């Protein structure tokens, strides 16, 4: 039976050999939630960058640019890191490529590129990710983007939620990290939003008046798609069908 392990921070990645495994990179607030939303809204692909200047430079090649630093939209780009940037219609995104850089999420993606497959996970596509890793049948490492190298609750909760969905087909008991994430997920279950109100990143987002983003990013199974990061580009994998949204009226 394949195993599911959780890497709580990109700083811990040197302890994991990703070769032969599937990495599910997660930055619930908000990079991977925004990437999933972008593809669901018809963005053709995204190029993730670690550096702001490299991201901005892609405008000359026809890309929309999306950039966040310390939770705020960076200067001189089209979009920040809110999933609503792809939903509210202010910037038309359908059919466009997006160059994106964020504080932690895009860095975690690049650091996970050695995996056999590097997938983009969020609560928004939790079920699709669970089904796809089952199909792949390989060991999985959930790579939490964290915050500047530190552990964060919301990414760990995603690890627990994925482990809970895969308990029947994956070994979710051999890693203390997975056991801890499962326990946290159980504790958070009755009211995930209230549970996360105490987290450091939600406090940071509240400070930036982005509570609406937090509530959106915690919706489960909104989109039936799995973005794959390969050869420097994030796009829908060939295995995954048309992006589908579970609920209507998201464009507000």
Which CB sits closer to ligand 3SL, 153 or 182? 153
Tokens, residue 113: 């590129």
- Minimum CB distance to ligand 3SL smaller for 38 or for 145: 145
State the number of binding residues for ligand 3SL (CB under 6 A).
12
User: What's the rounded Cα separation, in Å, for the pair 144 and 251?
Assistant: 28
Closest C-alpha to 128, from 241, 42, 43, 31: 241
**27: contact with ligand 3SL by CB under 6 A:** yes
Give the DSSP per-residue string, the chain.
--BEEEESSGGGGGG---TTSEEEEE-TTTHHHHHHHHHHTT--EEEE-SSHHHHHHGGGGT-EEEEEETTEEPTT-SB-S-GGGGTSSSS--TT-EEEEE-SSHHHHHHHTTTSSEEEEE-GGGHHHHHHHHHHH-S-EEEEE-TBTTB--HHHHHHHHHHHHHHTTTSB-SS-HHHHHHHHHHHHHGGGHHHHHHTSHHHHHHHHTT-HHHHHHHT-SS-B---EEEETTEEEE-TTS-S--BSSS----
Sequence-separated (6 or more) residues with CB below 8 Å from residue 181: 6, 142, 156, 157, 159, 160, 163
Q: Which of 22, 26, 31, 117 binds ligand 3SL (CB under 6 A)?
A: 31
Q: Decide: is 155 part of the binding site for ligand 3SL (CB under 6 A).
A: no
Q: Which of 71, 85, 121, 159 binds ligand 3SL (CB under 6 A)?
A: 71
Nearer to ligand 3SL, 145 or 166 (CB): 145
CB of 242 to ligand 3SL, least distance (A): 26
Candidate residues 29, 100, 140, 162; the one interacting with ligand 3SL per rule CB under 6 A: 29
Closest distance between ligand 3SL and the C-beta of residue 105, in Å?
Answer: 3
Q: How far is the CB of 175 from ligand 3SL (least distance, A)?
A: 24
- Nearest approach in angstroms of CB 234 to ligand 3SL is 13
Our CB check for ligand 3SL shows the closer of 22 and 145 to be: 145
Identified binder of ligand 3SL from the candidate list 81, 112, 156, 199, rule CB under 6 A: 81
Residue whose CB is less far from ligand 3SL, 31 or 141: 31
Q: How far is the CB of 71 from ligand 3SL (least distance, A)?
A: 3
* Minimal distance, residue 210 CB to ligand 3SL, in Å: 8
Residue ranges in 99-118 that form contacts with ligand 3SL under rule CB under 6 A? 102-105
- The residue ranges that bind ligand 3SL (CB under 6 A) are 27, 29-31, 68, 71, 81, 102-105, 145
């Amino acid at each position: 039976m394949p195993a599911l392990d959780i890497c709580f921070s990109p700083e811990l990645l040197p302890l994991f050999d990703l070769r032969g495994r599937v990495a599910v990179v997660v930055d619930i607030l908000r990079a991977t939630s925004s990437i999933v939303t972008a593809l669901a809204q018809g963005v053709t692909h995204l190029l993730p960058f670690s550096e702001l200047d490299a991201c901005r430079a892609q405008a000359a090649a026809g890309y929309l640019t999306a950039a966040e630093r310390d939770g705020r939209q960076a200067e001189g780009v089209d979009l920040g890191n809110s999933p609503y940037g792809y939903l509210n219609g202010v910037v038309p995104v359908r059919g466009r490529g997006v160059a994106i850089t964020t504080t932690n999420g895009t860095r975690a993606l690049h650091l996970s590129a050695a995996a056999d497959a590097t997938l983009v996970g969020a609560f928004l596509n939790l079920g699709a990710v669970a089904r796809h890793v089952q199909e792949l049948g390989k060991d999985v490492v959930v790579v939490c983007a964290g915050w500047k190298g530190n552990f964060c609750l919301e990414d760990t909760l995603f690890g627990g939620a994925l482990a809970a969905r895969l308990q029947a087909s994956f070994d979710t008991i051999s890693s203390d990290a997975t056991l801890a994430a499962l326990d946290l997920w159980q504790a958070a279950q009755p009211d995930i939003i209230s549970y996360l109100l105490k987290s450091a990143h939600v406090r940071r987002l509240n400070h930036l008046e982005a509570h609406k983003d937090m509530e959106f990013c915690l919706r489960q199974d909104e989109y039936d798609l799995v973005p794959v990061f390969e050869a420097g580009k994030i796009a829908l994998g060939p295995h995954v069908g048309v992006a589908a949204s579970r609920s209507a009226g998201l464009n507000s």
